[in-house]
Chains A and B, each alone.
Chain A
Amino acid sequence: MSNDAMPRITGSANAGSSRFLLPTRRSVLAGGAALIGGAALSAPYVSRAYAAETLKFWQFYAPGGTVGSQVTWFEQMVKSWNDQNEVKVELVYVPNNEYMNGSKLQTAFASGGGPDLFIISPGDFLRYYNGGVLADLTPYIDEAAQKDFPESVIANRKVDGKIYGIPMEVEPMAMYYSIKAFEDAGLNENDVPKTWDQLLEVAKKLTTSDRFGVLFETQPGYYQNFTWYPFMWQGGGDFQTAEGKSAFNSPGTVQALKLWQDAVNSGAAPRKPLGGGGWDVVPNLGSGYCAMQNVGIWAIAALREGAPDFKYGIFKLPQPAGGKYVTVGGGWAFVANARGKQVEAASKFCAWALGSMAPDSIQRVVDWCTVAKSDMPPRQSALEKGAAAFNEGMMKVFSQEIYPGTRAEPRVPPQVYKIISDAIQATQLNGQDPAKVAEQASAQLDGFLAGYSGAPIL
């Protein structure tokens, strides 16, 4: 390289007049950097301007859900709101498994974001309430509407008398069975088990080389805990005393752990459910993988949609000797992000959708529980308005036999449900002694509860 060649390469004055016509390397780089920089700097303003008009509503039903009637319900609700309001709502679909067992929602909040609107179950209420991201919806709900929610339904969404979530539904757990499987085994509806012993006995009779007799959830997580609680309660067990100490080490708890262990050890219950898990009825009961399944009221709509020709029956949870009938009622609720950009609009949306005395709000709850899904309504007015639907077919079994014994799903912080989940897993799938496991879990619970300072665990 020669000395006088260097200035030309760097595009100095020696390059002559052509430098004004042809872009130099430096000018291209500078222009590109300016363009990228400008775009990067303006992006937040563009996105903020868009976000200011739209409330993001995260849930696992629409627009990507697989059940058409539920997609329609959500879309119609949002369209109705958007037609009447300046601040729009946009549905953001998160697959069910990712929503319940994944990390998308938690991660969004941890990174300082999070949707303006989302749905939560009682099992996860305390995580968000204690994190300070649930908006107080009480000012936006009429007094009459507040009274329309039975205390047993709304209690686990309240703290200090204020409402932080408006329930969409009540979802009691029951047992479903395949009529064909019963007939193949020479059984009929008179053989429907009423006690735990009968449940195990019938499950063994229904077990074949291609089919399990009964299915309980086996995947760890708060859904599994939710489905196990009624078995614990039926024998008088609980996880917490009225004084806030652990009550986990009790005969009622131990026998509930043992029931699920016996079901697996006898070979009558699978160690792995199909599809999304124990809540998913079509791939399990509907496909013939099991003959009886412990699942909630939503399974009626799921079977109606996914296996319309499948013949099945429903019965309430069997009881232990000397125990009393009780089931658990879960259900999701609309909540607004207290740190969202438009908290008031988001809170108003929740109240407008599910918590108003306006006829369309009540009808929306009826439609959700009878057309889009199969659930018990969380409001007295909806129960009356949809009386006909709640008292026919399979819904009648729920409204008359199963629902009356419903206890609300407990709300616990993640640390508590992890302890309970580990106890269930250790006994159900790892063959550990239920009494010993209950004792260890109880000690862990006591350790956690002693230092806990969030909203009351119910």
Chain B
Amino acid sequence: MSEAMSRPSSTPAARKAAGFRFSARHREWIAGYLFVAPDAIGLFVFAGLPMLLALGLGFFTLDGFGGFQFSGLANYRRMFVDPLFLQSLKVTLAYVLMLVPSLYVVGLALALMVQKGSVLNAVIRSMFFLPQMVSLVVVALVWQVLLVDKIGLVPKMTGFLGLGGLSWLGDPDLALVSVVVVSVWFLMGFYMLIFLGGLQDIPREYYEAARMDGAGYFAQLRHITLPLLRPTSFFVLLVSTVAAVAGGQAFDLIYVMTKGGPANSTSLAIYYIYQQAFQYNEYGYAAAMASFLVLLLMAMTLLLFVLTRGGRFNYD
């Protein structure tokens, strides 16, 4: 906008003469915020406000029927001496340690396998992504049937290896592993797509030059693909870790397949928080644990950002 246009409204007298009017710069500024407003209001109402309320609830004891009493830090103190909460943190850690690397390896392997554009690869990609189109509850129910002791498809197939007697969802040593396997099966297509996007950003010339220099497949993978995939890898690791700790998909699977059992062996922190709130009416305690979990996640994300200098990667 020219100076001549803005000058007439720059003095109070002139503004009064012309009627009140925002400058073009202000109008753009207001329009920008109006465009963002629906999203921002939605986020505040459905994410920000509940988070603030949960933070506040952590300082109260609630009976689940409208009664509440201020209890200070009692809920926070309780969580550090609650063996079941501490166990749920261990279960969550084990889940993260099993799920995140598995998802990374499987997602990348699938992406490498189907990255070349052909009709067959397009079909295979769709097949790997197909589980994402199904409700998690359906996924859990189907896997529950496949894993049924003795007569399920999995025990029947593993029976040839002498593993037919295993109880995949009923044995505390195996139940979490089973949940991880189902989670990987469900999520691998999504991460495959992200890796495919990352792979397509790598210039083909690098591979051609490497091949001319005599580099084989694994040398190219090690010296070109993996280093240039670092931003994608960072994204995948961050998102899958947050999802694993927050129990994004795991909650649905556990709710349907194991109910946190057997013997609390699949009781992730998020599931334990749910149980305390919605089954035992300990809303204040659950809110305190949820706040603690959010703090943990924020600390973890911050650490990842510090280690990777804010997600910026230096290829020199």
A66 within 8 A of B: no
Tell me if B224 is interfacial: C-beta within 8 Å of chain A: no
B24 lies within 8 A of A425 (CB):
no
Number of interface residues of B (CB under 8 A): 35
* C-alpha gap A211/B155 in the complex (Å): 13
Interface residue stretch chosen among A35-43, A107-115, A357-365:
A107-115
- With A220-B261, A425-B263 given, is the CB distance from A110 to B170 under 8 Å? no
Query: Is B64 in the interface zone, CB < 8 Å from A?
Result: yes
Interchain CB contact (< 8 A) of B64 among A106, A274, A428, A429: A106
- Does B90 have its Cβ within 8 Å of any Cβ on chain A? no
A75 at the interface (CB under 8 A from B): no
The answer for the CA separation of A131 and B64 in the assembled complex, in Å, is 7
In contact, B66 and A112 (Cβ under 8 angstroms): yes
In the complex, the answer to whether A219 meets B280 with C-beta atoms within 8 Å is: no
The answer to whether A414 and B281 have CB atoms under 8 Å apart is: yes
| Interface set, chain A 216-273, CB cutoff 8 A to B | 218-221, 267, 270-272
Q: How far is the CA of A272 from the CA of B155 in the complex (A)?
A: 13
Note all chain A residues with C-beta closer than 8 A to B279: 101, 103, 106, 414
In the assembled complex, the Cα of A425 lies from the Cα of B258 at a distance in Å of 12
- From B64, B165, B262, B274, give the contact of A110 (CB < 8 A): B64
Q: Does A212 contact B (CB under 8 A)?
A: yes
Chain B 149-178 per-residue mask, 1 if CB under 8 angstroms from chain A, else 0: 111000000000000110101111000000
Write the chain B residue with the least CB distance to A101.
Answer: B259
Known contacts A110-B281, A112-B66, A271-B170: A429-B150 contact under CB 8 Å: no
**Closest partner residue, chain A, to B166 (CB atom):** A271
Q: Which residues of B contact A218 (CB under 8 A)?
A: 170, 261-262
A110 to B259, Cβ gap below 8 A?
A: no
Q: Are B151 and A429 in contact (CB under 8 A)?
A: no
Taking a contact as CB atoms under 8 Å apart, the answer to whether B263 and A130 are in contact is no
| Cα separation A400 to B172 with both chains bound (whole Å) | 41
A429 to B172, CA, bound (A): 7
Residue of B nearest to A440 (CB): B83
Contact between B259 and A272 (Cβ–Cβ < 8 Å)? no
Given known A3-B5, A271-B149, A272-B148, contact A131–B260 (CB-CB < 8 A): no
Residue B206, interface by CB 8 Å: no
Residues facing B in A417-438 (CB within 8 A) are 418, 422, 425-426, 428-430, 432
Beyond A109-B64, A112-B66, A267-B165, whether A430 also contacts B263 by CB under 8 A is: yes
A101 to B274 CA separation, bound complex (whole angstroms): 12
Q: Give B168's nearest chain A residue, CB to CB.
A: A272
Q: How far is the CB of A125 from chain B (nearest CB, A)?
A: 14
Residue B35 is within 8 A (CB to CB) of chain A in the complex: no
Q: In the assembled complex, which residues on chain A have CB atoms less than 8 Å from the CB atom of B264?
A: 220, 422, 425
Task: Check B150 against A109 for contact (C-beta < 8 Å).
Answer: no
Q: Does B183 contact A (CB under 8 A)?
A: no
B84 within 8 A of A: yes
B265 contacts A by Cβ under 8 Å: yes
Complex alpha-carbon distance, A428 and B263, angstroms: 8
Q: What is the total of A-B residue contacts with beta carbons within 8 Å?
A: 96
The verdict on A209 contacting chain B, using a C-beta distance below 8 Å, is: yes
Asked if B208 is an interface residue, CB under 8 A from chain A, the answer is no
Contacts of A160 in B (CB 8 A): none
Contact B149 A272 (CB under 8 A): yes
Residue ID in chain B nearest A415 by CB atoms = B280
Is A425 in contact with B150, judged by CB distance below 8 angstroms? no
A3→B21 CA distance, assembly (Å): 12
In the bound complex, how far is the Cα of B173 from the Cα of A117, in angstroms? 43
Residues of B within 8 A of A210 (CB): 150-151
Partner of B149, one of A101, A270, A415: A270
Closest-CB distance, B315 to chain A (whole angstroms): 43
| B33 on the A face (CB < 8 A) | no
B278 at the interface (CB under 8 A from A): yes
Q: Are B170 and A289 in contact (CB under 8 A)?
A: no
Q: List residues of B (106-152) whose CB comes within 8 Å of A's CBs.
A: 148-151
Given A270-B170, A422-B84, A429-B261, A109 contacting B65 (CB threshold 8 A)? yes
Q: How long is the Cα–Cα vector from A127 to B279 in the complex, in angstroms? A: 10
Known: A112-B66, A218-B170. A131 touches B281 (CB 8 A): yes
Please measure, in the bound complex, the distance between the C-alpha atom of A238 and the C-alpha atom of B78, giving whole angstroms. 28
B167 & A272 in contact (Cβ 8 Å cutoff): yes
Task: Give Cα distance in the complex from A1 to B280, angstroms.
Answer: 64
Q: Interface 1/0s, chain B 54-85, versus A by CB < 8 A?
A: 00000000111111000000000000000010
Q: Does B283 contact A (CB under 8 A)?
A: yes
Q: Does A405 contact B (CB under 8 A)?
A: no
Closest residue of chain B to A429 (Cβ to Cβ) is B262
Docked Cα-Cα span, A107 to B265, in Å, equals 25
Task: Give the chain B neighbours of A418 by CB distance below 8 A.
Answer: 280
Q: What is the distance, in angstroms, from A66's C-beta to the closest C-beta of chain B?
A: 16
Nearest residue, chain B, Cβ from A422:
B264
A219 touching B261, Cβ below 8 Å: yes
What residues of B have a CB within 8 angstroms of the CB of A426 in the complex?
263
Choice from B65, B167, B274, B280 contacting A271 with Cβ under 8 Å: B167
Partner among B148, B164, B165, B278 whose Cβ is within 8 Å of the Cβ of A106: B278
Instruction: For A209, list chain B residues within 8 Å (CB).
Output: 150, 164
Contacts of A3 in B (CB 8 A): 5
Complex interface residues of chain B between 253 and 276 (CB less than 8 A to chain A)? 259-265, 274
Residue of A221, A270, A422 touching B167 (CB-CB under 8 A): A270
- Taking CB atoms, residues of chain A closer than 8 Å to B164 are 209
Q: Check: A132 CB closer than 8 A to any chain B CB.
A: yes
8 A-B pairs, CB-CB below 8 angstroms? A3-B5, A103-B274, A103-B279, A218-B261, A271-B262, A289-B151, A429-B261, A429-B263
Q: Which 4 A-B pairs have the closest CB atoms?
A: A271-B170, A103-B278, A131-B65, A430-B263
- With A132-B65, A212-B149, A289-B151 given, can you name 7 additional A-B contacts, CB distance below 8 Å? A106-B281, A110-B278, A209-B164, A428-B263, A429-B170, A429-B261, A430-B172
